[in-house]
Structure 1
Amino acid sequence: MENDRFTSRIRLRHLHCFVAVAQEQNLGRAAARLMLSQPAVSKTLAELEEIAGSRLFERGRLGATLTEDGEAFLVHAVAVLDTLGAAGRAVRKHDAPSPTLLRIGALPTVAIDLLPLALGEFRANRPHTSVQVQTAANAPLLASLKAGEYDLAIGRMADPEMMVGLSFELLYVEPVIMVTRPGHPLLVDGPPSLEAVLDYPLIVSPKGTTPRHNTESFLQSRGLRLPESLVETLSVSLARLLALRFDYVWFISAGAVRDDLERGLLTRLPLATGGTEEPVGLLTRSEGRLSMPAQELIATLRDSAARQRERLKGQE
């Protein structure tokens, strides 16, 4: 009976409003996107929470954050809107075809390595499909995928509570390595010690990211820790320029610098980094239906990842 009451009262406007607020994490921005007033959005959310019998957002000065029940509801709300969109396209199949947009989320280190080759091959088969790529750290990547902002993402496995509503397919595993410019003082007198490495300026991923955690765990297992003076960034282009032009040592996922290593622009320090390996894979919504272009891109990514695994073996 409760479920019948819910389905008889729920309306599409409730779902559109809920998903917009979940994506924007702010009632004002969601209202502007929906072309509604903020009070109208607040009223619609209140109606939805009353129908659901649960609080779906925590509202505060900094915006609106999904509760645990809200996270669970989001998975199904996005799936319902995806299915309705597919139904609409099915009955309009005789209309003139509209341009296809494929939205991809990716880790910065993956976007610079795995995606270029895959997208080049994909375009040869799908020349009329537009591709939108956004990069982010893993946690916001997963949140945006759940909220329906991406069709698929390339990232890392996360804690079980963050993976609710998502599927993960392993593509490859890569370690964190240390790279410098050729001719760096650390390379002059044979393999350096880790203690010597830490005497130089370092570039690392920000706190809260998997590469940063693995870097810190690696050093702690050897009785060492990162110094307080660091450059912390997710920007591969910024870190690359610092490493190329100065004496920085860059702790980075191996795939992100593969091309520079092969061309001799950067050099890997001859130090083992066992235990820093990170699984990288395809992420999709469990309840979502992938379009044909998305399925074709996934097939291309699998092929590119197989080649990537062979390259990474050569860097070990």
Structure 2
Amino acid sequence: MENDRFLHRVRLRHLQCFVTVAQEQNLGKAAERLNLSQPAVSKTLVELEHMVGAALLRRGRFGARLTLEGEHFLVHALSVLDALDGAARAVGKGGGASQETVIVGALPTVAPDILPLALTLFRQQYPQVRVEVQVAANTALLEKLKAGESDVAVGRMADPQMMVGLSFELLYVEPLIAVVRAGHPLLEGGLSLPQLITCPLVVSPPGTVPRHNTENYLAARGLKLPGNCLETLSVSVARLVVLQSDAVWFASAGAVRDDISRGLLARLPLAFEGTEEPVGLLHRSDAVLSPPAQALMKILRGASRRAANE
């Protein structure tokens, strides 16, 4: 059987090499990380693809990207390496387990909304567990999850190919809103969209869901974003600019929830129906999450319900 031949020929180095290249998306960087030469990495990948009978990676000037077959293979390769890692920890030196780590990814608009409360509650339950927070755009979050570089993420659904090997659990829907500092002239009444877009605007970068929703919202009303917008993924930068000026920020509601409740920012009276986007918990479908990672997911569910009710 072909499957039997594969199982007898494949070696751990093939899987480690493939996963590293998938994570780095670059043969040179993967070679450096593996302490191998780039030709050795390339040779190992060719051997693996020959055994599998399919191209797992596309090599090009922009690096190495997974094919659809590579996406599916990565899911199982990670499972094997995770299982071996778990076995090694279970029989570690002195019989004790190494310090556990939970890596959680989050969208920039979500991180300041539900993560602080969730991480505080998590620390009370697991004071000895190391926690790493990765804040990134949705595509990067999904890639890190699929490559085994994070345990769980709070993000959005994506195209079916991007969701291969991932599970999504809805937490809440998040609308787009427009906010300004307290005391902004636009809060005095008589607000019009043509007047609004003459103000300095703060928006998310192209390719993000908030930017897409902002452009569609304006286009449906015969308007478009001016060319002099401040574009940033950084919630902290956008927040300080808006607090210190007359800028208008088209933001996801979660990013500004706390500042609105404190009276630092105010929501402009505009209807943004149809801009709601689902936000949920993501993890690898086949991954066996550690008890701390499962606990963090449970806490995130509770924190999201609390935020949605405020």
**TM bracket (short chain):** over 0.9
The equivalent residue for 1:128 is: 128
**Contact between 1:56 and 1:68, CA under 8 Å: does it hold in 2?**
yes
Is 1:102 aligned to 2:91, yes or no? no
Alignment of 1:1-316 (within 5 A): 1-92=1-92, 95-188=95-188, 190-311=189-310
TM-score with structure 1 setting the length: 0.95
Change (3 A) 1:294 1:93: farther
Q: Which runs of 5+ in 1 are unaligned?
A: 312-316
Deviation at 1:89, TM superposition (A): 3.0
Q: Which amino acid aligns with 1:228?
A: G
The equivalent residue for 1:314 is: none
1:199 match: secondary structure: coil
Identity %: 64
Change (3 A) 1:82 1:97: closer
1:112 match: secondary structure: helix
Deviation at 1:160, TM superposition (A): 1.4
Name whichever of 209-218 and 91-100 sits farther off: 91-100
Q: Which amino acid aligns with 1:217?
A: N
Q: Which runs of 5+ in 2 are unaligned?
A: none
How many angstroms apart in 2 are the aligned matches of 1:94 and 1:165? 35
What CA RMSD, in Å, does the superposition of the two structures yield over aligned residues? 1.4
Change (3 A) 1:94 1:191: farther
Deviation at 1:224, TM superposition (A): 2.0
1:46 match: secondary structure: helix
TM-score with structure 2 setting the length: 0.96
Deviation at 1:158, TM superposition (A): 1.1
Q: Which amino acid aligns with 2:150?
A: Y
Change (3 A) 1:93 1:261: farther
How many angstroms apart in 1 are the aligned matches of 2:246 and 2:185? 8
Deviation at 1:78, TM superposition (A): 1.1
How many angstroms apart in 2 are the aligned matches of 1:97 and 1:234? 38
**Contact between 2:90 and 2:96, CA under 8 Å: does it hold in 1?**
no
Name whichever of 1-10 and 162-171 sits farther off: 1-10
Change (3 A) 1:191 1:77: farther
